[in-house]
């Protein structure tokens, strides 16, 4: 599904303050995998997601999605098969547009935007059904401006918008870090439901060891741009959150 | 009565400019200085066309297309050359000064004795008011429709949250280019009508107009606070008309006309900072309460 080959990335290249983040980085993720990514601050986790989504481009190496080389594809074109949720709940939605308008925009991800009306009446039933799954009562508030929602509500909506067109890859960068415990649990369970899709690969960055082990089916740890730890299956089941925390103290 | 109507019709003609500026400043969140240049561009193009015998309506339409090109120039400076938005607009605006002189061949072109849109409908005060009203209404309807379409919605979302729009698969640069072209073509229409209404175009006719547009926008926002898009656009038109009455008032009260630009700038500054001032006052009251 997703294959990263010999990836190299440095910031401020060829300047005195050059900072190498990745050197010959390799990673293969199959569809149906839900990978949790851990690692200390500055390990390169967000940079990895930015490289996968095309926000930034690698110096060398290849990014392949389902046998297609996407290394040079700009961000907005990759968005057709990559869904993303950021840490900041404000980043994933347009505040002055309504819930319905935001969802309509995300429905158009795979198609060319035209001069037909952006909000289609016959979509609203589908939107309501999808919003119902969030269990936040948003299905009754299609005409509410997103700017009026709470951070948790906005993050849930962002998650829905990121996955409504069934992307091949879902990237989650500490997407529950800014939420209170109850919204956090809600969003995590929702994420779990969505990530069950066998045709999709999910990558979730988290600083919470328990979440990293309890959710998903594979865990990798990054340290200075290298994978120092990659477990799945039984081996992963046996792991204990505090154990990793201690043995890799970061 | 006459003054009432002529003030209103002036407000309507400048409301077109304010609507154009609204698209960049408020919808796209792009501080576009091109507007002053494209207003004059519309005025000079239209004047030169009319004085060469082209019919007024075609002249206005051609002017609007030329205005769109000015918007395109700014948009390309910003999107492909990565120039800051203010700088991109200023560069186009300054270039337009020379271009407008080239178009007119001199600093101003008179339309005395020529046919204009206003003369076509009778050349009375009521008729200029009606021309302004019809064009403003058409624009309001057109813009309301456009910003409800998939493309229009994407432009609004780009202004709201560009990063999100890119993550949603939109080429946000294209959206900015389109919005700037539409905005500046509307500013050019305004210029084309201004020159026909005052009977000449002048290379300096755009100077300071962006502040007038901004003042109109914020006056409108202070008057009508509603969420629906069409009401927001209507409030811009109302704001523009109100602005003209305020100007009329301060002039009759004896203000020196040469101080008008300063007055307008202060008015815009005060109204723009009103939300923040309110916040500060609220916080102050709370602190006292504590
Ligand atoms: N645009 C940039 N320019 C320069 N340096 C950058 C840039 N983006 C990231 N870096 C650097 O790259 C390194 C990795 O950053 P990154 O954001 O990927 O870390 P992270 O693993 O996501 O950390 P955190 O857990 O704090 O989010 C950091 O040292 C950071 O300073
Ligand atoms: Mg990070």
Cβ of A80 under 8 Å from any chain B Cβ? Answer: yes
Average model confidence (pLDDT) across chain A: 90
How far apart (Å, rounded) are the C-alpha atoms in residues A162 and A190? 13
Asked whether residue A11 is domain-assigned, the answer is yes
Where do the H-state alpha helices sit in B105-256?
117-120, 125-146, 150-160, 162-167, 172-198, 209-223, 229-252
Query: Burial level of A121, CB count in 10 A (0-12/13-18/19+)?
Result: exposed
CB A250 less than 6 A from any atom of ligand 1: no
Q: Which of A43, A45, A224, A26 is nearest to A53 (CA)?
A: A45
CB A11 less than 6 A from any atom of ligand 1: yes
Helix then strand then coil, % of chain B, to nearest 5 = 80, 0, 20
Asked whether residue A216 is domain-assigned, the answer is yes
Beta-carbon contacts of residue A29 (< 8 Å; ≥ 6 apart): A1, A2, A3, A35, A201, A203, A218
Domains of chain B by residue range = 2-205
Asked whether residue A141 is domain-assigned, the answer is no
Total number of domains constituting chain A = 1
Partner-chain residue, chosen from A94, A118, A119, that has the shortest CB–CB distance to B164: A94
Q: How confident is the model at residue B128 (pLDDT cuts 50, 70, 90)?
A: confident
Q: What is the pLDDT of residue A247?
A: 66
Cβ of B172 under 8 Å from any chain A Cβ? Answer: yes
Surrounding ion ligand 2 within 5 Å at CB are A 46
SS (H, E, C) A143-175: CCEHHHCCHHHHHHHHHHHHHCCCCCEEEEECC
Cβ of A53 under 8 Å from any chain B Cβ? Answer: yes
Strands A19-29 and A2-11: antiparallel
> In Å, how far is A118's CA from the nearest CA of chain B?
4
Overall average pLDDT of the B142-150 stretch: 96
The DSSP code for A98 is B
- ipTM for this model: 0.88
| Residue B241 confidence (pLDDT) above 60 | yes
How far apart (Å, rounded) are the C-alpha atoms in residues B24 and B14? 16
B51-64 pLDDT, tens digit per residue, is 999 999 999 999 99
Spatial strand order in the sheet of A19-29: A19-29, A2-11, A60-65, A68-69
CB A38 less than 6 A from any atom of ligand 1: no
% of residues, chain A, pLDDT over 70: 98
CB A50 less than 6 A from any atom of ligand 1: no
Q: Which domain holds residue A52?
A: 2-95+150-248
| Residue A101 confidence (pLDDT) above 70 | yes
Residues 202 to 241 of B: which have CB under 8 A from any A CB? 227
Asked whether residue A102 is domain-assigned, the answer is no
A102-120 pLDDT, tens digit per residue, is 999 999 988 888 888 888 8
Asked whether residue A133 is domain-assigned, the answer is no
CATH assignment at residue A174: 3.40.50.300
Residue A223's beta-bridge partner residues? Answer: A226
Partner-chain residue, chosen from A97, A110, A116, that has the shortest CB–CB distance to B157: A97
How far apart (Å, rounded) are the C-alpha atoms in residues B269 and B122? 39
How far apart (Å, rounded) are the C-alpha atoms in residues B91 and A8? 38
Asked whether residue A101 is domain-assigned, the answer is no
Q: How many CB atoms lie within 10 A of CB B118?
A: 23
> In Å, how far is B74's CA from the nearest CA of chain A?
22
Asked whether residue A20 is domain-assigned, the answer is yes
Asked whether residue A120 is domain-assigned, the answer is no
Partner-chain residue, chosen from A102, A110, A118, that has the shortest CB–CB distance to B150: A118
């Amino acid at each position: 599904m997703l294959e990263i080959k010999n990836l190299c990335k440095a910031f401020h290249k060829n300047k005195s303050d050059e900072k190498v983040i990745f050197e010959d980085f390799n990673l293969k993720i199959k569809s149906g995998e839900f990978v949790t990514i851990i690692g200390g601050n500055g390990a390169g986790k967000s940079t990895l997601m930015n490289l996968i989504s095309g926000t930034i481009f690698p110096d060398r190496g290849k990014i392949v999605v389902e046998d297609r080389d996407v290394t040079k594809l700009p961000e907005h074109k990759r968005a057709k098969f990559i869904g993303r949720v950021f840490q900041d709940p404000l980043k994933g939605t347009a505040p002055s547009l309504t819930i319905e308008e935001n969802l309509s925009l995300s429905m158009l991800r795979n198609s060319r935007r035209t001069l037909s009306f952006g909000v289609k009446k016959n979509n609203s039933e589908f939107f309501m059904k999808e919003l119902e799954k969030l269990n936040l009562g948003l299905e009754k508030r299609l005409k509410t401006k997103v700017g009026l929602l709470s951070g948790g509500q906005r993050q849930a909506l962002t998650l829905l918008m990121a996955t409504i067109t069934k992307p091949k890859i879902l990237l989650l960068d500490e997407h529950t870090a800014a939420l209170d415990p109850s919204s956090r649990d809600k969003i995590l369970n929702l994420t779990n439901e969505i990530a069950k899709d066998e045709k999709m690969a999910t990558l979730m960055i988290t600083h919470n060891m328990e979440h990293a082990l309890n959710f998903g089916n594979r865990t990798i740890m990054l340290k200075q741009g290298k994978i120092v730890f990659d477990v799945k299956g039984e081996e992963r089941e046996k792991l204990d959150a505090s154990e990793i925390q201690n043995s890799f103290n970061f | 009565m006459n003054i009432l109507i002529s003030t209103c019709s002036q407000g309507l003609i400048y409301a077109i400019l304010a609507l154009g500026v609204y698209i960049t400043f408020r919808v796209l969140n792009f501080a576009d200085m091109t507007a002053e240049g494209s207003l004059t561009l519309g005025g000079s193009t239209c004047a030169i066309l009319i004085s060469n015998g082209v019919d007024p309506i075609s002249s206005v339409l051609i002017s609007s297309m030329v205005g769109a090109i000015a918007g395109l120039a700014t948009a390309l400076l910003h999107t492909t050359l990565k120039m800051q938005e203010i700088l991109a607009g200023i560069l186009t605006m300054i270039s337009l000064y020379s271009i407008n002189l080239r178009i007119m061949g001199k600093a101003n072109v008179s339309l005395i004795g020529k046919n204009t849109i206003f003369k076509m409908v009778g050349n009375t005060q009521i008729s200029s008011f009606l021309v302004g009203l019809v064009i403003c209404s058409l624009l309001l309807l057109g813009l309301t429709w456009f910003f409800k379409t998939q493309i229009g919605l994407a432009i609004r979302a780009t202004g709201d949250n560009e990063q999100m729009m890119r993550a949603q698969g939109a080429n946000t640069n294209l959206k900015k280019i389109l919005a700037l072209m539409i905005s500046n073509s509307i500013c050019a229409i305004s210029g084309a009508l201004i020159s026909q209404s005052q009977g000449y175009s002048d290379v300096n006719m755009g100077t300071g107009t962006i502040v007038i547009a901004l003042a109109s926008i914020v006056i409108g926002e202070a008057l009508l606070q509603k969420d629906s898009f069409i009401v927001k656009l209507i409030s811009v038109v109302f704001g523009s008309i109100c602005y003209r009455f305020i100007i009329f008032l301060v002039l009759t009260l004896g203000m020196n006309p040469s101080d008008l630009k300063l007055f307008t700038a202060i008015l815009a500054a005060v109204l723009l900072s009103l939300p923040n001032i309110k916040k500060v006052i609220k916080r102050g009251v709370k602190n006292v309460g504590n």
